Structure 1
Amino acid sequence: MSQIRAAVVGSGYMGGGIAQMLALSGAEVALADVSAEIAASNHTRLLDEARQFVADGLFPADAVERIAALVHPAESVEAAVADAEFIEEAVPEKIEIKHATLARISAAAGPEAVIGSNTSTIRISALAEAVERPERFLGVHFSNPAPFIPGVEIIPHETTTESAIATAETIVRATGKQTARVKDSVGFVLNRLQYALFSEAADIAAEGIASPEDIDTIVRTTFGFRLPVFGPFAIADMAGLDVYAFCYASLQTRWPERFATPESLAALVAEGKFGTKSGAGYLDVPADRTPELVAYRNRAYVALQKLLDELGPAPID
């Protein structure tokens, strides 16, 4: 792929991290903000961050030189996006700010430029109202810290073209990230799940069942320990969907509506599809591959614990 001309509008920590990743993938990046002075100041900051990341062994040894050569602060939003093929909006999570910024971006950008928004929760269709030629617009949601979290949500809206989606995926994957396509919905996938967990954790703490510290310990050392390797459907398949159904029934003795058995789970159990032990479930892992999967799981968990032991405890007292 030839060198991509990109622009990042919003040069704070998210935008700066995205600019770093784009540059390390070989893209030329124009960095813009509400003023040339802020863009220049944040450009200096992201280079300083990159130096620290190199010193900490988190970036390659030549990262600062590569980023300095490819990321340039722009005089204005319009100047940044004028020649860009891909533009990432990363301004604060307020729809009025995003609308105003996206209107400026789309008015000044070339007609074929693909425009992404790093919104965390706002529906892409709502943001698209401010975009000229909205078929080239979609959500491209990086997570904080952008240089080090590998997953990126790709969120088209109703009229986003397949070519715009493919362009965004190609550019993001070139940074080493993993992409997942998500339908346009408030909160998308990442934050809908993340905030559901936090709400339940906050309720448990408020009820006095466990302290925030002990809740964090339980999450880190039990089901959360599995999550770097397996998602919720794979975990359920390995645990046994019939077991999940029994657990839902138990939870329903206290919270019948909050923990109503998912219809998909009930349907699979009724069909005798209990997950890996029956050879069919959400992910349909063949039963003859279960020993291989269990062996991989065990190796992964031991490796994760070794890594955590090597890192030592987080500096939270």
Structure 2
Amino acid sequence: MSRNIAVIGSGYMGGGIAQVLALAGARVALADVSAEVAEKNYHRLIAESRDFVKDGLFPAGATETLEKNLWAASLAEAVADAEFIEEAVPEVLDIKRDTLAQISAAARPDAIIGSNTSTISIGDMATAVTNPGRFLGVHFSNPSPFIPGVEIIPHEGTDPQTVSAARELVHESGKSTAVVKDVTGFVLNRLQYALFHEATQLVEDGTATAEDIDTLVRTTFGFRLPFFGPFAIADMAGLDVYDFCYKSLQTGFPERFATPKILTDLVSEGKLGTKTGSGFLDVPAERIPELIAYRNKAYVLMQKLIEELGPAPIK
């Protein structure tokens, strides 16, 4: 990646994003509320990288790459020549708008501007950006050096070319992207908090302890999630099975577990998932043995990795 990039906000998230981009070969300017704060966090990131190399989390030579590609500057200096600017300041709308206005005033008129927000409407922030067609959400997850997925969130006025360019840049850094609409919570947090909400209900009504729920999630359906998303899992289980399970859940929770219309429609059309070759994801019947073999190998290797790592030091 041969690019000039600025990251505005040098804290935990911004610093991690800067590491990702700089390690991919971009020249990354790091800025914050002052050059002094950016300089302090620059040295923290360099020191942190030495530990990551020692622990095998960053490749050999990563620290030298960061020292070559990453530097601290004022906001105006950081964005002056940048083709892409990532805003990663605190999750407060007024702070973000003020920062985006400063970026707009100092940056190239064609520079793409991304926000790392996880909760704030991209459209609400776009009003602070000059030429808002170049603005969108580029949401990395914590810890950004090690989590591979990035949400790309255009607002209604984002140019399609901006979306394509942002995805290309993120892919060059070795990450994966998913494009989602600018709605409350986007996708990542809507799913994450939906699971957490149901988990808290189970604790509050005494169905299970927090520890037992965490154990079940980790060792059952959560065990599948690194390899298969919810739609692939449903297709493999059988959408008719899912339809039946919703009906069973409705005996105790008729509103909370109402059957999704999209599921009912597929079942009524005879599209039951992998066993019929069509469902949410259309997997041809001839690929099912290959899919099952992959699934089984993936789960065995995942279990071996967990045993090698040992339990998480939560207790």
Q: TM-score, with normalisation over the residues of structure 2?
A: 0.98
Output the CA distance in 1 between the equivalents of 2:77 and 2:254. 56
**Pair 1:9 & 2:8 matched:** yes
In 1: Cα distance, 2:81 partner to 2:278 partner: 50
Give the deviation of 1:272 after TM superposition. Answer: 1.0
2:214 to 198, 212, 216: 216
The CA RMSD measured in Å over matched residues stands at: 0.8
CA distance in 2, matches of 1:49, 1:312: 24
State yes or no: 1:293 paired with 2:285: no
Q: CA deviation at 1:255?
A: 1.4
- Residue 143 of structure 1 is aligned with which of 141, 144, 148? 141
For residues 36-76 of structure 1, give each alpha carbon's deviation from its aligned partner in whole angstroms, at most 9, with x where no partner exists: 111111101111111110000011110001101111110x2
The Cα offsets for residues 212-259 of structure 1, whole Å up to 9 and x where unpaired, read as 111000000000000000000000000000000011011111111111
Q: How many pairs does the alignment contain? A: 315
- 1:64 and 2:63 correspond: yes
- Cα deviation 1:9-46 (Å, max 9, x = unaligned): 00001100100011111100110001111111110111
Look up the match of 1:274: 272
Residues 1-317 of structure 1 aligned to structure 2 (within 5 Å) = 3-74=2-73, 76-317=74-315
Counterpart Cα distance in 2 of 1:125 and 1:279: 39
| Alpha-carbon separation, structure 2, partners of 1:78 and 1:195 | 37
- Seq. identity, %: 68
AA of the residue aligned to 1:138? L
Find the aligned partners of 2:198 and 2:130 in 1 and give their Cα distance: 40
CA distance in 2, matches of 1:105, 1:257: 47
Helix, strand or coil at the partner of 2:299? helix
Partner deviation per Cα, 1:67-117 (whole Å, 9 max, x = no partner): 01111110x212211111000000111111111111111111100100000
Task: Report the 3-state secondary structure (helix = DSSP H, G, I; strand = E; otherwise coil) of the residue aligned with 1:300.
Answer: helix
Alignment partners' CA distance in 1, 2:287 and 2:166: 35
> Whole-Å Cα distance in 2 between the matches of residues 258 and 123 of structure 1?
27
Letter in 1 for 2:29: A
Q: Which runs of 5+ in 1 are unaligned?
A: none
Distance in 2 between the 1:164 and 1:143 partners?
21
Q: Which runs of 4+ in 1 moved over 2 A?
A: none
For residues 135-194 of structure 1, the C-alpha deviation after alignment (integer angstroms, 9 at most, x for no partner) is: 000000000000000000111111111221122111111110011111111111100100
Of 122-131 and 233-242, more deviation after overlay is shown by 122-131
CA separation in 2, counterparts of 1:292 and 1:173? 27
Give the C-alpha shift of residue 304 in structure 1: 0.5
